[in-house]
Amino acid sequence: MEQTLPTMVFALLSVLLIGLSLVVVTARSVFRGAIALTAALGVVAGLFAFLGADFVAASQLLIYVGGIMIIMLFVIMLSQRPQDQYDRQTNEQWVWGAFFALAVSCALIMQFRSVYRGIFATTVAMPTTASIGRLLLGDMVVPFEAVSLVLLAALVGAVYFGLDDKDRT
């Protein structure tokens, strides 16, 4: 029971992520697809937290779910007419895309099963936040602040592209 519970939780989160990802690519509404993408990115953060990568999980939540998805939702809401939000999200190539996705998934599953057999039994999840925090606010403070300026520039660019053409003067 000790080993099966983490495996079951991991499998449940993985199936949930696959389901949400399918909703993202098959949703008729762009807005619903964006909401499903937000939920899928939240599940990815849950997987990171489950595997012991707490800093990566927190970064996933803050940057992707909290930041980029909000910007994307505002751009969708402010720049499109309501009738544009219900366009077809697939094209005629979806059969080939599904075939190649299935082939790549099968190849990856076979490879991971052979390479990582029993890795969950030997891995102990240790928190990583304290050591990464010391590194980012110590030796790497200048590159860390440079990345924050790049993210600020991306935010300003997203707002600029969300404006109408007549407001861009």
* Phi, psi (rounded to 5 degrees) for 149: -70, -35
pLDDT at 84 over 70: no
CATH (residue range 4-84+94-136) = 1.20.120.1200
pLDDT band at residue 134 using 50, 70 and 90 as cut-offs: confident
What letter would DSSP give residue 125?
-
Number of helices and strands in the chain (H, E): 8, 0
The pLDDT value recorded for residue 43 is 93
C-alpha 19/C-alpha 107 separation (Å) is 20
pLDDT at 44 over 70: yes
Q: What is the pTM of this model?
A: 0.59
The pLDDT value recorded for residue 74 is 77
The pLDDT value recorded for residue 110 is 82
Tell me the domain boundaries of the chain.
Answer: 4-84+94-136, 137-169
